[in-house]
Amino acid sequence: MATIMDGKALAAEIDMRTANRIQRLADQGITPGLVVILVGKDPASQIYVRNKERRAKKLGIHSIVRNLPETISEKELIKIIQEYNEDPTVHAILVQLPLPEQINEFHVTMAISPTKDVDGFNPFNLGKLLINKTDQTPIACTPQGIMSFFKKYQINLDGKKAVMVGRSTIVGKPMAALLTNANATVTIAHSHTHHLSELTREADILIVAIGVAHYIKAEDVKPGAVVIDVGMDRDSNGKLVGDVDFESVEKKASYITPVPKGVGPMTITTLISQTVTMAEWSSEKNG
């Protein structure tokens, strides 16, 4: 049976260190400020926003949620983002994805100031990640949270075969870059990939972010693999489940993340710690 990687416990451990950093900023009169913009009613985004609010409050960062109507125009949304770009009490801006059809995601990522881009999806920050020059660079929170799992459980990536299933800007692509920078041999798979199972069965490290409940089964996994499940899906009973069929894969993998209490809590912890880091950068620059 695989070791279950406990995202809730690791998140609590990291939050303790973050709390000390928040205290140090408070001593200088600074409160880290985070704005989350939620357009419409995506269910995975709603879970995220709810849990994030709870943790932000507990730790004492200033968090604002801007709920905007599904019908908002791209122009209006970008204007709101620009206001937060100018606001010195805001250190981090997050626009929940997916966005409604009338809004071009690329235009939105371009509108967020690179210094406030806590999701790391502005092309400037993504470019720095790609060339492995990540000093003072925000990086997508979910992939970074996954790297914290590897560190905590002492999983060596050097020379390992890693397969990333999913190529989104927010999970798959930055995750593949982080793995490459850590000297893994990385394959990115997506909906056009042929014979996916043959690829995943070769993976020492298998990371899945596709949004299809229980898609990866035991037969798709190499014995002893490390399996990371990013999915936030609903099964036929409406229960929150991942992209990996946990019950069968748990018997074959060496390490596995559960859903819930795996990657999800780590995304939130990383979001908060990165908001604090961005407030620290801003205070270094101004102080």
Ligand X SMILES: NC(=O)C1=CN([C@@H]2O[C@H](COP(=O)(O)OP(=O)(O)OC[C@H]3O[C@@H](n4cnc5c(N)ncnc54)[C@H](OP(=O)(O)O)[C@@H]3O)[C@@H](O)[C@H]2O)C=CC1
Ligand Y SMILES: Nc1nc(=O)c2c([nH]1)NC[C@@H]1CN(c3ccc(C(=O)N[C@@H](CCC(=O)O)C(=O)O)cc3)C=[N+]21
> Any idea which residues carry the catalytic annotation?
52, 96, 119
Residue 48 binds ligand Y (CB under 6 A): yes
For the chain, give the DSSP string. Answer: -PEEP-HHHHHHHHHHHHHHHHHHHHHTT---EEEEEEES--HHHHHHHHHHHHHHHHHT-EEEEEEE-TT--HHHHHHHHHHHHH-TT--EEEE-SSPPTTS-HHHHHHHS-GGGBTT--SHHHHHHHHTT--TT----HHHHHHHHHHHHTT---TT-EEEEE---TTTHHHHHHHHHHTT-EEEEE-TT-SSHHHHHTT-SEEEE-S--TT-B-GGGS-TT-EEEE---EE-TTS-EE-SB-HHHHTTT-SEE--SSSSHHHHHHHHHHHHHHHHHHHHHHHH-
Number of residues that bind ligand X (CB under 6 A): 26
Residue 267 binds ligand Y (CB under 6 A): yes
Q: How far is the CB of 176 from ligand Y (least distance, A)?
A: 16
Residue 263 binds ligand X (CB under 6 A): yes
Q: How far is the CB of 186 from ligand X (least distance, A)?
A: 15
Q: How far is the CB of 65 from ligand Y (least distance, A)?
A: 13
Candidates 267, 269, 274, 282; binder of ligand X (CB under 6 A) is: 267
Residues 216-245 that bind ligand Y (CB under 6 A): 232, 240
Residue 142 binds ligand X (CB under 6 A): yes
Annotated binding-site members for NADP(+): 166-168
The option from ligand Y, ligand X, none interacting with 233 (CB < 5 to 8 A, set by class) reads: ligand X
Residue 94 binds ligand Y (CB under 6 A): yes
d(CA 84, CA 64): 11
Residue 120 binds ligand X (CB under 6 A): no
Residue 167 binds ligand X (CB under 6 A): yes
Of 114 and 172, the one with the shorter C-beta distance to ligand X is 172
The option from ligand X, ligand Y, none interacting with 226 (CB < 5 to 8 A, set by class) reads: none
Candidates 4, 19, 47, 78; binder of ligand Y (CB under 6 A) is: 47
Residue 109 binds ligand X (CB under 6 A): no
How big is the chain by its Cα radius of gyration, in Å? Answer: 19
Residues 227-256 that bind ligand X (CB under 6 A): 230-233
Residues forming contacts to ligand Y in the complex (CB under 6 A) are 44-45, 47-48, 51, 94-97, 119, 141-142, 170, 232, 240, 259-261, 264-265, 267-268
